[in-house]
Amino acid sequence: MCALGDCAADARVAGAARVLSWSGEHAAVWLLVGLAGAATDRTQRERWLRGTGLVGAAQLASMGIKRVVRRPRPEPAGRAPLVRTAGRHSFPSSHAASSGAAALALGGLRYGTPLAALAALICVSRLVAGVHHPSDVVAGAALGALVVRLGGAARPQGAQHPAPPGSAARGAEGAAG
């Protein structure tokens, strides 16, 4: 098995890494997914918007940590990175932070497996592109999970999300109402 950076020699892998990296820039794909979910899923609109906010919070938290840690990006031997980056600092990966947050906060609402798979691919794309150390990606994903966890804990006491459509709890509400 090749090292992830070496996989970029395959034009198809390099192209996919570029597209995935581009889609995750500034959490764009996740913000679009969250807003589309809020626009189309009236029963869970508040949850979609809250999840989208948590994705944004993870993105902002990672950017703040980068300014403190200031770890330089890797310099892959013998090749240039596949993508340009918004900054020169790499720890933690903002792509991984927003992807980790999205997988948990948005994936729990609908399309969990596909969203988790996309999140993982975006994380791996940053390694293939040569713009992050593995620890940057792991720390970013952990930060995203932490933001979602803390965001859920910050919910006002007694506030509950509506039950997903078709769940037993929802059926009980309909029967009682």
What does the chain come to in residues?
A: 177
**CA nearest to 34, candidates 17, 25, 26, 46:** 46
Alpha-carbon distance of 114 to 135, in angstroms, equals: 24
User: How many other CB atoms are found less than 10 A from the CB of residue 69?
Assistant: 13
Residue pLDDT, tens place only, 17-52: 778 888 888 899 999 999 999 999 999 999 999 999
Q: Residue 152: its pLDDT value, please?
A: 80
Token digits for 122?
């975006």
Model-wide pTM > 0.85: no
Mean pLDDT on 128-141: 91
Residue pLDDT, tens place only, 67-94: 999 888 888 777 777 777 778 888 999 9
**Do residues 147 and 106 lie in contact, with contact meaning Cβ atoms separated by under 8 Å?**
no
Mean pLDDT on 54-71: 94
- Which has more pLDDT, 155 or 157? 155
Helix (H, G, I), strand (E, B) or coil at 72: strand
Statement: residue 177 has pLDDT above 70: no
pLDDT class of 162 with cuts at 50, 70, 90: very low
Statement: residue 167 has pLDDT above 60: no
DSSP 8-state secondary structure symbol assigned to residue 92: S
Q: Residue 153: its pLDDT value, please?
A: 54
